[in-house]
């Protein structure tokens, strides 16, 4: 049986602050349409220099802990080589080195294979651009 490849780009509206946006439901909805109960891989990719993807537990304080840790490692003060109109941006562009812009996850019988407390999240540190595109691709 030949493999199939299906892809779609979704637009996520975040906020004007550093944030995590849960993509788990969007991934599951995409797989209901694309996987048809088959096994395969879901690749998730964001093409933005100031956002990344993570698989973490949400809602138990991990969201805030991750953002606080990123603020410690990537401070938005005068240490960066920023353009004067966008303070903190050059440091924020280092985010994908710590939180990659992609994730590849197993799909079993059409369902995303995550642990009971795991979620797929978009990590966005750009306060100036509240709209992000995320590409979802299923390969079976």
Task: For residue 92, give both structure tokens.
Answer: 């924020």
Q: List, in order, residues 6 or more apart from 129 with CB less than 8 Å away.
A: 48, 50
pTM: 0.86
Express each pLDDT in 81-100 by its tens digit. 555 555 555 567 788 888 99
CATH numbers and ranges of domains, the chain: 5-139 (2.60.120.460)
Per-residue confidence band for 28, with pLDDT thresholds at 50, 70 and 90: very high
Residue 106, φ and ψ in degrees, nearest 5: -70, 145
Beta strands in the chain (DSSP E): 5-13, 19-22, 40-46, 51-57, 102-108, 111-112, 118-124, 131-139
């Amino acid at each position: 049986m030949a493999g199939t490849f299906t892809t779609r780009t979704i637009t996520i509206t975040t906020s004007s602050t550093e944030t995590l946006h849960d993509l788990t439901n969007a991934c599951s909805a995409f797989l209901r349409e694309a996987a048809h109960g088959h096994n395969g891989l879901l690749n998730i990719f964001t093409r933005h220099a100031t956002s990344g993807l993570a698989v973490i537990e949400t809602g138990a304080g991990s969201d805030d802990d991750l953002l606080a840790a990123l603020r410690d490692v990537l401070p938005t003060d005068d240490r960066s080589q920023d353009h004067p109109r966008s303070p903190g941006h050059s440091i924020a562009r280092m985010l994908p080195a710590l939180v990659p812009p992609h994730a590849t996850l197993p799909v079993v019988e059409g369902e995303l294979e995550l642990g009971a407390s795991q979620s797929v999240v978009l990590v966005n540190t750009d306060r100036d651009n509240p709209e992000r595109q995320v590409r979802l691709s299923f390969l079976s």
